[in-house]
Amino acid sequence: MATAASLSLLHQSAFLGSSPHKLSVSVGPKLVGGAPLRWPQQQQQPPLLIVEAKTQSRREDRTARHSRIRKKVEGTPERPRLCVFRSNKHLHVQVIDDTKMHTLASASTMQKSISEQFDYSSGPTIEVAQKVGEAIAKTCLEKGITKVAFDRGGYPYHGRVKALAEAARAHGLGF
């Protein structure tokens, strides 16, 4: 049974003069002999439930999170941005000065110094991420960079990303 609802419109017409008139329309159950009209049972159907699939992939969700982070985190010459990229097989870190669009330092699991130390076939582990964090901290300290702004790249601050950040902090990089 429908509920009563009223709709009021303010209507001004050139035919009716300059005074505004109120037009009221109400929608509700029809009364037949003083009792509301009931619809037959076969016409009453439950409301349809529409289920839609998720339109964005996990990668698109991550890039959206990364763009929201990038609105807030910017690398300057005094405090460059430490940007993390994580894939299934590798882990990449760059220290970037966004004012000049210049990469100041980088470290990756693809570098020989890191890849020769560990034998990982299923992708980088937390120990490998700690080694990459240590390598980026040493490279930055050699170049005179002591403070950075951490950009997690849209990834959750957990697991490999957290291990990398803590290892870089432990080896003298401030953020």
DSSP state of 117: T
Q: Which CATH class name applies to 58-171?
A: alpha beta
- Which pLDDT does position 119 carry in this prediction? 79
Q: How far apart are CA 111 and CA 128, in angstroms?
A: 12
140 and 105 Cβ atoms separated by less than 8 Å: yes
> pTM score > 0.75 for this model?
no
Length of the chain counted residue by residue: 175
- Which pLDDT does position 157 carry in this prediction? 97
Single-letter amino acid code for the residue at 166: E
- Which pLDDT does position 33 carry in this prediction? 58
- Which pLDDT does position 124 carry in this prediction? 87
- Which pLDDT does position 159 carry in this prediction? 96
91 and 132 Cβ atoms separated by less than 8 Å: yes
The pLDDT profile of the chain, 175 residues, written as one tens digit per residue, is 444 443 333 444 444 444 444 444 444 555 555 565 555 555 666 778 888 777 889 999 999 999 999 999 999 999 999 999 999 999 999 999 999 999 999 999 999 989 888 877 778 899 999 999 999 999 999 999 999 999 999 999 999 999 999 999 999 999 9
3-state SS of 48-85 is CCCCCCCCCCHHHHHHHHHHHHHHHCCCCCCCCEEEEE
Q: H helices within 108-159, ranges in order?
A: 112-115, 126-142
How crowded is residue 66: how many other Cβ atoms within 10 Å of its Cβ?
Answer: 17
How crowded is residue 117: how many other Cβ atoms within 10 Å of its Cβ?
Answer: 10
| Domain layout of the chain by residue ranges | 58-171
Q: How far apart are CA 130 and CA 155, in angstroms?
A: 16
How crowded is residue 135: how many other Cβ atoms within 10 Å of its Cβ?
Answer: 23
- The candidate with the shortest Cα–Cα distance to 106, out of 57, 71, 140, 141, is 140
